[in-house]
Chains A and B, each alone.
Chain A
């Protein structure tokens, strides 16, 4: 099934070891990490991606890791796809792709990135309390970018919240990020399958805006990284 997936020509830089192997059906797992702040909707994005993978017939394991609060804490989702995947948790240096909804939340889980990792990171910060009251400093953009570049193989770092605002609300950042992932076509999951997963997952009143957000995210990376 994986081999039957017809993927488009991918930017050569995006051909990382792990992803390439998955497409070639050599690798036994694909590991995606999603890091953000409670309230950004990252749990819904992991649900959409995993639903799409199930619709395509894959075995999927997802771990949603969050603390006690409804809002404001660090939230990390581990999404694992592959026939020989058992645990829902990605091992150290095991993530093939990371979706960073917030810059420092992405840094916080960097021990899980593989050396061939592709990182799609939203540059819009959500300042932790200790930063906003001036107790500690938030790292500068250049600090974040240069560190991430050292850790990952390919970094896409831009203001995805701005794209969400264009789609109608900063609240649909999560679907913009899913779209950005889909636009790279690293996963053997068809665009239509992602859209079907969104339609099946989000409440009906906001379906349209979520699909639009997905489309804008998709175009953003598809346009830039495919020729």
Chain B
């Protein structure tokens, strides 16, 4: 959780004060200033801090803040509150949008009463995601207004505006962020906090029942709103035509506007170009036409897909303009990966026929050459490291090591990077380990199919596929890596922890009960720190002629360390006796604890006492009994 110091800053009631805020904190503060009363989310990088921030001050402002079981339920919860007239917000990472599309494609036609804001955090460059999906597509699909701020301060204002517009239109409003805004910090001026507290009131209305027969008239209603949405886009302060230059028209959507501003200054071209800053979807037709009047060539910058570029072509065609439109589709802007100042500067220079002088980077290239890669790892003492070791050993015993790891989204995903060969063989989306595992199991592969899924992910998306596996008789082993937290996104609580987003106690979900209730007959709980016993159990599960579920339960080491520090428990690192170590490297290649290193010259393993978190599992792993507590 965030240190309390942040909560004090977020809750400041001092309009006009400038403070440093993380982009996600600015979004949260915007919602608080706008009088949000219900805020929901499911953790996901780069969006997690939005709800964390609101939750840290929720009690103070009388906000209901919750980690919902998944994004779809989070959206529905926010929508329910908005139908009852409250201001509600749901936030998620971009792939969460895929989950909410089902309810959103009905709520976009029923509309809402209180403001409903949907914040999506895209991940250009896919730094912490399975794809580079562009959420702006969903503005088109849902026919809803989407706002896209260009920086942290604008993100706060965009959220406030989104609430006002949502109530004016009686429609949800979408806000698109990108990683470079979510995880940027900037000085932000605080505004007044709206203190009006509404009481939910349900007004019975046919429009809340999106049923065959009534949905068609709501579709007409949604289309009638489009003219007003266009008017809002044309008047929005998020859109702006800057400069007088006519050599080139630059259209810059969202965060790319900041790259363009810096790049033009570096290139000394401010006077020669006009910039159209884009912050709404649909685009402001009036400003686009003004720009097209002025220039013969337009260069479009936007993160991920050429959505603006295509829209500009449509507007140009409709208005009979014959200018050249360049961007991702013409190969003038890089098609994949996130943009930055250098990429934008080189695109502008190329299109304007300017040569940029590059100083040679000889020593820098040499520096890169001698820089060893830093693979992503799991933490020393991570219970997942032990669980993977147990599964691998059991597969060796039962199936000659022939195993397929059907993977999922969470810390155990790092099994792909941390081991050789990788201990994640497939990985797609939340819950796919069990779903894809079903298909692998039915395909007749000879390998043992092991679906690996975390506790939070299981609750999010693992239960329906598990029921499916039981119902349709898929023979596989499902291992639930239960570390009692949503670790990868920063240790958020979930229903299995018995704690809510605001830290209050609630009923604790028992995962074994859920698994049994799904109809699974073979359910065993192991402690991955007990290696021998765990291998026996997992081997038995692999031999079981049906679906078996193993719950591998041990608290996340980072949480355990935090608690130990709080309670003053001293962590004693382990060490290797070089006399006994035979240099077999089992602790490195098979177990793979990142605290264990290898000394080539002496042919012995060595434990880095700074990195060792004292779990002691390596003692059980070492066949030469060379590892012991303390020493060295």
> Which residues of A does B touch, CB under 8 Å?
28, 37, 46-47, 50-51, 54, 57-74, 84-94, 104-105, 107-108, 110-111, 113, 115, 127-134, 136-139, 143, 147-148, 150-151, 170, 200-204
Task: Report whether B262 and A91 are in contact in the complex, using a CB–CB cutoff of 8 Å.
Answer: yes
B524 within 8 A of A: no
**B266–A91 CB distance below 8 A:** yes
- On whether A87 and B363 interact (CB within 8 A), knowing A63-B184, A68-B45, A68-B488, the answer reads no
A71 to B417, CA, bound (A): 13
Taken together as a complex, chains A and B put the C-alpha atoms of A137 and B488 apart, in Å, by 30
Interface contact B368-A108, CB-CB below 8 Å: yes
Residue of A nearest to B600 (CB): A134
- B376–A132 touching, CB < 8 Å: no
CA distance A108 to B373 in the complex (A): 9
Question: CB of B619 within 8 A of chain A?
Answer: no
Write 6 A-B pairs (CB below 8 A) sorted by A numbering.
Answer: A50-B185, A54-B19, A66-B183, A69-B376, A72-B379, A147-B366
Nearest Cβ on chain A to B597's Cβ, whole angstroms: 4
A70 CA to B340 CA, complexed, in Å: 25
- Does B564 interact with chain A (Cβ within 8 Å)? no
- Asked if B184 and A71 make an inter-chain contact with CB atoms under 8 angstroms apart, the answer reads no
A-B contacts at CB below 8 angstroms, number:
183
Report which of B9, B18, B364, B379 forms a contact with A111, defined as CB distance below 8 A. B364
**B414 engages A89 (CB within 8 Å):** no
Are B597 and A133 in contact, CB atoms less than 8 angstroms apart?
A: yes
Chain B proximity of A131: nearest CB distance (Å): 5
A163 to chain B minimum Cβ distance, whole angstroms, is 16
Cβ-defined contact, B377 with A60, below 8 A: no
Asked if B213 CB lies within 8 Å of chain A CBs, one says no
Complexed CA–CA distance, A51 and B19 (Å): 8
Q: Is B370 an interface residue (CB 8 A)?
A: yes
Q: B622: shortest Cβ distance to chain A, in Å? A: 16
Residues of B within 8 A of A (CB): 3-5, 9, 18-20, 45, 127-128, 151, 180, 183-187, 255, 257-259, 261-262, 265-266, 340-342, 345, 359, 361, 363-364, 366-368, 370-377, 379, 411, 413-414, 418, 487-488, 490, 558, 585, 588-589, 594, 596-598, 600, 608, 610
What is the distance, in angstroms, from A161's C-beta to the closest C-beta of chain B?
Answer: 9
Judge whether B372 and A131 touch: CB under 8 Å: yes
**Residues in A neighbouring B366, C-beta threshold 8 A:** 147
A181 and B417 CA atoms in complex are apart in Å by 35
A123 to chain B, nearest CB (A): 15
B180 near A89 with CB under 8 A, answer yes
Given that A72-B594, A130-B375 are known contacts, is A54 also in contact with B262, CB under 8 Å in the complex? no
Contact A88 B598 (CB under 8 A): no
Closest residue of A by beta carbon distance from B601:
A134
User: Which residue from chain A places its CB closest to the CB of B588 in the assembled complex?
Assistant: A133
Cα A104 to Cα B558 in complex, Å, equals 25
A residues in contact with B261, CB < 8 Å = 86-87
Residues of A within 8 A of B588 (CB): 133
A62 / chain B contacts, CB cutoff of 8 Å: 20, 184-186
Q: Are B487 and A70 in contact (CB under 8 A)?
A: yes
Decide: B374 and A73 in contact? CB cutoff 8 A: yes
Q: Give B3's nearest chain A residue, CB to CB.
A: A203
Contacts A150-B363, A170-B610 given: A65-B379 contact, CB under 8 Å?
Answer: no
Whether the pair A86, B487 counts as a contact (CB closer than 8 A) is: no
CB distance from B165 to the nearest CB of A (A): 26
B373 touches which of A46, A130, A132, A133 (Cβ 8 Å): A130
Evaluate contact between B20 and A88: CB separation under 8 angstroms.
no
Contacts of B373 in A (CB 8 A): 128, 130, 136
Do the beta carbons of B372 and A87 come within 8 Å of each other?
no
In the complex, A205 Cα to B485 Cα: how many Å?
24
Closest to B566 in A: A205
